Amino acid sequence: MSERSRPYHHGDLRPALLAEGLEIARTDPRTLSLREVTRRVGVSPAAAYRHFRDRSALMSALAEEIQVRMVARMRTRDRSARSADRETAALGRLRGVGLGYIDFAIEEPGWFELAFFGPADGEGRSSTERASSADGARPGAGTASESGPDGAPGRAAVPASSLRSGAVPASSPARNEDPASSPASGTDPASSPALRRVPPFAELVAALDECAATGALSLERRRGAEFSCWSAVHGCAELMVHGPLRGAPRPVVREVAERVVDDIIAGIR
């Protein structure tokens, strides 16, 4: 993509930077840098610092936007699986959440790569691990380490603002949710408010809660089911985006995805 020929209007710079960052990330998130984004938008890097402290902050904002878009894809699959029977509809929603997650990863591999992972630091920790162990970190700050002056990332983490701050995207089902009212609350690690601020995880939680509320899933089996489901579905997506199933014929990919999702739903019941 060439540099934008028209100048941005005052007040529109942040959306312009995000839009350009999304375009870069879509093709190769490893080349994403604040300097490259500002070059394409047609402003100096100094202008961008009014909106993003550094590359890490930009990556965090992009990751949040991508996760919200992933949820929209999951909900599209959800709607296509609806049934008049409440229990069947709840299971259909859960199935749609899983298949929509995998669909998004296959359709948008660059965005999928940016949405959840980050480069390792000198101690071999991923940016997610650094974010979870950091004390007193500035809310909204990014999680990826700086590998040099505005260096490009390897992979981007679950945004630190999702893990540490109170900011919840407006479309996230976790907004205004009382964790204590959920079957996943109490000592269940899935009741963590930080995790529930990650939009795709919150969507999975909501689908599982609906299964429990309709009797499709017992309360005993409901506890911790998020991690079984997320691990299976995310692992399947990784195999298709980066692993041996990359480039497999579409019918094979569809069959594997449906088998994984159906098996994990059967397994948690």
The model's pLDDT over 185-222, given as tens digits with 9 standing for 90+, comes to 455 666 666 666 788 999 999 999 999 999 999 999 99
pLDDT of residue 7: 55
* Distance from C-alpha of 262 to C-alpha of 109, rounded to nearest angstrom: 23
Task: Dihedral sign for Cα 227, 125, 129, 171, please.
Answer: negative
Residue 54 confidence (pLDDT) above 70: yes
Instruction: Assess if residue 76 is contained within a domain.
Output: yes
- pLDDT digit string (tens) for 60-107? 899 999 999 999 999 887 665 566 688 999 999 999 999 999 999 999
Q: What is the pLDDT of residues 135-152, one digit of tens each?
A: 333 333 333 333 433 444
Coil, strand or helix at 140: coil
Structural domain span for residue 144: 64-268
Residue 19 lies in a domain: no
**So what's the pLDDT on residue 179?**
41
Let me know if residue 246 belongs to a domain: yes
For residue 243, give the CATH number of its domain: 1.10.357
Residue 41 lies in a domain: no
- Rounded to whole angstroms, the Cα distance separating 87 from 75 reads 17
Higher-confidence residue of 173 and 55: namely: 55
Q: Assign residue 136 a region (left: φ > 0; alpha: ψ between -120 and 50; beta: otherwise).
A: left
226 phi and psi angles, rounded to 5 deg: -55, -45
Domain count, the chain: 1
E strand or H helix at 26, and its extent? helix 13-27
Q: Is residue 6 assigned to a domain?
A: no
Is residue 28 included in any domain, yes or no?
no
51: in domain: no
Residue 173 forms part of a structural domain: yes
At 48, which helix (H) or strand (E)? helix 45-48
